[in-house]
Amino acid sequence: MKKLKELMPYIIIVVVVLLVRSFIVTPGLVNGSSMEPTLHNNELVLINKIGLNKGIDRYDIVVVKYENSTIIKRVIGLPYETVEYINDILYIDGEIVNTKVDFEYTKDFKLTAGKNEYIVLGDNRNISKDSRIIGPVKESDIIGKVDLVLFPFSKFGKVK
């Protein structure tokens, strides 16, 4: 009994850390250059899981479960929206969108998201495996938002 009492603070710390990582925030590593220039290969980022409770907005950067891994992409289309890119112009539901995301060198495409689905694209569209290839992603496959670059320290700060 005395042994358990001595171990209790450590057990509590482990439980708290596991709960925080499971439900609130967790670190993640950027793998590849599909989100350049926003995020770079091997950058350590903070994935905000609880931020999903506030909803997913256009231009949020999200982490998506895909096959046996995860991908980091930017949300462009929301549920039930049709996203088209024609002759260097982005349309959402037929309306021209003045985007803060650079679409230069993007091939024309048209995608429609269904109920609880999102259209996600990498910022480096020439090499990105995103909704143009895998289709819209289900909300249930989005595990969190990327809010912060943790490392390298020279890049530490909020993700835009």
Instruction: Supply 60's token pair.
Output: 């949020």
What is the pTM (predicted TM-score) of this model? 0.83
Tell me what pLDDT residue 137 has: 98
Active site residues: 34, 73
Domain spans in the chain, listed from the N-terminal domain onward: 2-149
Task: Check whether 13 has a pLDDT greater than 90.
Answer: no
Sign of CA dihedral 40, 63, 25, 52: positive
> Which range has the worst mean pLDDT, 71-75, 134-138, 151-155?
151-155
Nearest one of 51, 38, 1, 47 to 155, comparing CA atoms? 38
CA 46 to chain centre: 11
Q: What single letter denotes the amino acid at residue 146?
A: V
Query: For the chain, what is the mean pLDDT?
Result: 87
Length of the chain in terms of residues written:
160
Nearest one of 47, 111, 100 to 78, comparing CA atoms? 111
> Can you give the C-alpha Rg of the chain in angstroms?
19
Tell me what pLDDT residue 138 has: 98
Asked whether 34 and 112 are in contact (CB, 8 A), the reply is no
Q: What single letter denotes the amino acid at residue 30?
A: V
User: How would CATH label the architecture of 2-149?
Assistant: Ribbon (2.10)
Q: pLDDT digit string (tens) for 85-139? A: 888 788 999 999 876 556 666 788 999 999 999 999 999 888 899 999 999 999 9
